[in-house]
Structure 1
Amino acid sequence: MFKTLRRILKHRWLDESDTHRAVPPAMVKRLMQRVAASEKRHSGEIRICVEAGLPMSYLWRGATARERAVTLFGKLRVWDTEHNNGVLVYLLLAEHAIELVADRGLNQHVPPAEWRAMTRRMGQAFSERRFEDGLTQALEELSAVLVRHFPLAEGEQHHNELPDRPVLG
């Protein structure tokens, strides 16, 4: 019970203002531009979501950052792309948690160990509060994976199916 209460306090201590401090408007704009530039090279879709803490309903039932990321993957419609090759980069500030959730079209090409390695590398930058560096690194690595497995044909243009702007909560 004490562990649950401590976790709730940790998540409620942070709010949206903490998210906006970690990812200020100028960074949002740069990340949005990087996502758009990445998506010109492949047919995939990349979404970024940064949250300060989990909603109370998640905390009461002991849900994990992974569960929240999977829920947001659905709510943000990352799963609903033509080639099933969307990916969500989820960062939960309260727990310093990073989750990558990829759709089935992309996931079948990338072994779990590669996803874990990407997450570990991102975590190094995030642990030093270098959020932009970590997210930029994630975008570069995800772009390389998407270009390798879902390149655009010569002369083909990317049809943007999802917003490029990071979601902050």
Structure 2
Amino acid sequence: MIEFKRIFSNVFGGWFQLKRCFPKPLLTEIGDAIGAGEAKHIGEVRFAIESRLSFAEVLAGVNSRGRAEQIFAQQGVWDTEHNSGILFYLLLSEHRIEIVADRGVSRYVEQARWDAICQRMCSQFALGNWREGSLAGIAEAHEILGEYLSDPNVPNPNELPNKPIIL
């Protein structure tokens, strides 16, 4: 079944929000928060923002979770020594947030914990608190990763870029 609301929101919405919601200083702050948190554990965090899906993607049934998994693979978030990558994926046009965790993280952390972070971020974003929602979500993810992936005896190189991905 064709979802006209999804088509409408992706064709006409989202594209103009990106720079307003995520100006360059905030993107820099997000990258810095990712780097600072990663220094405390062997997890790797990526943060991707997409303004909207294409008309063809919506017609093909691509949803935010499927797109997040696609970006996870394309960006090589899975390609870390300890399989410890996670991806925050924001789809502005549909007001959706997904967190995809690699198998080295998923063995310790249930998806429900990531989904709870997404819900809190959505609540902040609905109030227009883009900075607060993003940074709080990243901080919470670092806390979780620190619970399970902190070992001072394991080398901790920065395996993935910290800079947010704009799609």
Q: One-letter code of the match for 2:133?
A: G
86-95 or 157-166: bigger deviation? 157-166
Give 1:39's aligned residue. Answer: 38
- Alpha-carbon distance between aligned partners in 1 of 2:53 and 2:127, rounded to the nearest angstrom: 22
1:27 aligns with 2:26: yes
SS class of match (1:98): strand
Give 2:112's aligned residue. Answer: 113
Q: How many residues align?
A: 167
SS class of match (1:164): coil
| Structure 1 spans left out of the alignment, 5+ residues | none
Instruction: Provide the identity percentage.
Output: 33
SS class of match (1:121): helix
1:109-137 CA-to-partner distances (Å, cap 9, x unmatched) read: 01232222222111110111211111111
State the shift of 1:61 in Å.
Answer: 1.1
State the shift of 1:22 in Å.
Answer: 1.1
- Alpha-carbon distance between aligned partners in 2 of 1:15 and 1:7, rounded to the nearest angstrom: 11
61-70 or 11-20: bigger deviation? 11-20
SS class of match (1:159): coil
State the shift of 1:16 in Å.
Answer: 4.4
Q: One-letter code of the match for 2:158?
A: N
Contact persistence 1:16–1:168 (CA under 8 A)? no
TM-score (structure 1 length as normaliser)? 0.91
Give 1:52's aligned residue. Answer: 51
SS class of match (2:17): helix
Runs of 4+ more than 3 Å apart: 3-6, 14-17
35-44 or 109-118: bigger deviation? 109-118
SS class of match (1:110): coil
Contact persistence 2:91–2:97 (CA under 8 A)? yes
- The RMSD of aligned alpha carbons is 1.7
Give 2:148's aligned residue. Answer: 149
TM-score (structure 2 length as normaliser)? 0.92
Q: One-letter code of the match for 1:164?
A: N
| Structure 2 spans left out of the alignment, 5+ residues | none
